[in-house]
Amino acid sequence: MTAAAEPKAAAGLKREMGLMSAINVIISVMIGSGIFVSPTAALRYSGSIGFCLVVWTVCGGISLLGALCFAELGTVVPRSGAEYAYLIEAFKKSHSFWGPLPSFICAWVYVMILRPAEIAVIILTFAEYSILPFRHLLGLEHMPAADLHLLIKLIGILGLGIITYINLSSVKLYVTINNVFGFCKVFACLVVIFGGIYQLAIGNTENLAGGFQGTNTSPGHIALAFYNGLWAYDGWSSVTTITEEIKKPEVNIPRSIMIAVPIITGLYVFMNLAYMTVLSMGEMIASEAVGIDFGDRALGSFSFLIPLGVALATFGCALSIQFGVTRLCYVASQEGQMLEPLSYIHVRRATPAPAVAMQGILALAFILVGNIETLIEFASFLIWFFYGAAVVALLALRRSQPNVHRPYKVPLIVPYITLAVSVFLSIVPVISDPSPKYLFAVGFILSGVLVYTPFVYYKVRPRWINKLTFMIQVLFEVVPSSSKLD
């Protein structure tokens, strides 16, 4: 082997994740703090216990349909990056300027704002709930609010440092830790479910007696109930963000989706049913943390398992979101739509170290700045917009590449249903709350166009880029990925 060939063999993502690991990635991203802390909006807008459970069940089915569209895309376009990869494949050659623009805007929103802001919020939630089981031992009840807020922020920064270190170190370490956390968060969900079963067994069914009584028939309320339910299921596309690290992706991506999404649907429906055994509708809607209130009433001395479950769920969720978005950085950089060093790979660890470090720095900035929820609100409605764009890419690829082998092919009605849902979820928040924050979202997209035009389309390259690239290579011990060397 020549000296020139040696880095090429090491420079690339490696397929180290099997079916169980792929399932755990989906579980890790989909199950965050939401189902433990605030599964109340769907109940409030549905108006009844019975219809609320129907909403959670149907939302799980709709999420599965969307995930199956991505399962086909993940086998036709065997690249990491999910929506980004599908948009670049479907439209890049259609027009020299407009063709690559949708994929760049997708990367711009996800990489620069949405994902690092989500990680910051989730890791702060982890910090808050990780100290709850020890609040008496540490005397936190008597700590001034400002000091408690600072403590939570410091723990959050420590947690961010840990997940960044894990994702810098190796994919195998990530897989091992993510599998453990995935098992623990499912166990926490089952604790809630079996707690509810026990309540039913002892005859605690009063809160369930209402059934469908009081169901809202207003189309607006029904739409908002499904809107909030579907947001809770977000994350079903996560396995396609890391396609290049999945063993036999043409088999394991569809299988992982078909296993994980129904499991999560079952957990969500039965957890809501469990909450309803001890909490009335009014109590659930007014609760700031439904899972905590449930644990206090139903689990007795084991109530500490709920905040512990939230801490485990949020840590694993933040870990997997960061893992996925760094792969989007990696692919976008390979396409020349991000700084080139973001596609460089560590010579020994086979991780995109510069992309991981950048995401860690961005998330840290959001933690320090604060008011992150507003950033997520003005950008997060775009998630389903990009899901819809990916479905359009699926339909476009079926037309432009009809003879490409498709190991899995979703029935044609499914992408149309998913597209209709994505349009609905992109429009509903704007109509229901016509806030100026959506103007900020448009402004951020336009700022992306301003970056895209000189640096991506016209390929303007400042002189300092070469020095920055050299510094990154030396600091992180990285080399260009295999596709750059070919």
From residue 472, alpha-carbon distances to 241, 352, 411 in Å are: 24, 12, 46
Look at residue 120 and tell me if it is in a domain: yes
CA 256 to chain centre: 16
pTM for the structure as a whole: 0.91
Look at residue 7 and tell me if it is in a domain: no
Please give the tally of structural domains in the chain: 1
Per-residue pLDDT at 147: 82
Per-residue pLDDT at 372: 66
DSSP track, 114-126: IHHHHHHHHHHHH
Q: Can you name the residues that pair with 479 across neighbouring β-strands? A: 345
Q: What is the pLDDT along the chain (486 residues), one digit of tens a residue?
A: 334 444 444 467 888 899 999 999 999 999 987 888 778 888 888 989 999 999 999 999 999 999 999 999 998 998 999 999 999 999 999 999 999 999 999 999 999 988 998 999 899 989 988 888 777 777 677 778 888 888 989 999 999 999 999 999 999 999 999 999 989 999 999 999 999 999 999 988 888 887 888 888 888 788 888 888 887 888 899 999 999 999 999 999 999 999 999 999 999 999 999 999 999 888 898 888 888 889 988 888 888 888 988 899 999 999 999 999 999 999 999 999 999 999 999 999 989 999 999 999 999 999 998 766 666 666 667 888 899 999 999 999 999 999 888 888 999 999 999 999 998 888 877 787 777 777 788 888 889 999 999 999 999 988 899 999 999 999 999 999 865 544
pLDDT in tens, 95-142: 999 999 999 999 999 999 889 989 998 999 899 888 887 777 776 777
From residue 8, alpha-carbon distances to 81, 247, 471 in Å are: 22, 20, 20
Look at residue 1 and tell me if it is in a domain: no
**CA terminus-to-terminus distance, the chain:** 16
Per-residue pLDDT at 146: 82
**Tokens 């079926």, residue located:** 398
Per-residue pLDDT at 375: 66
Q: Where are the beta strands (DSSP E) in 260-379?
A: 345-346
Per-residue pLDDT at 11: 67
Backbone angles phi, psi at 301, to 5 degrees: -70, -10
Backbone angles phi, psi at 346, to 5 degrees: -60, 135
Q: What is the CATH number of the domain that holds 118?
A: 1.20.1740.10
Per-residue pLDDT at 73: 94
pLDDT in tens, 443-467: 888 899 999 999 999 999 888 999 9
Per-residue pLDDT at 304: 87
Look at residue 11 and tell me if it is in a domain: no
Identify which of 121, 107, 109, 117 has the alpha carbon closest to the alpha carbon of residue 442.
109
Look at residue 400 and tell me if it is in a domain: yes
Backbone angles phi, psi at 13, to 5 degrees: -70, 145
Look at residue 14 and tell me if it is in a domain: no
Q: Is there a contact between 395 and 69 (Cβ–Cβ < 8 Å)?
A: no
From residue 232, alpha-carbon distances to 18, 47, 56, 373, 479 in Å are: 26, 18, 9, 16, 39
What is the Cα–Cα distance from 34 to 229, expressed in whole angstroms? Answer: 11
Amino acid making up residue 129: Y
Residue 261: give the domain boundaries.
19-481
Look at residue 417 and tell me if it is in a domain: yes
Look at residue 6 and tell me if it is in a domain: no
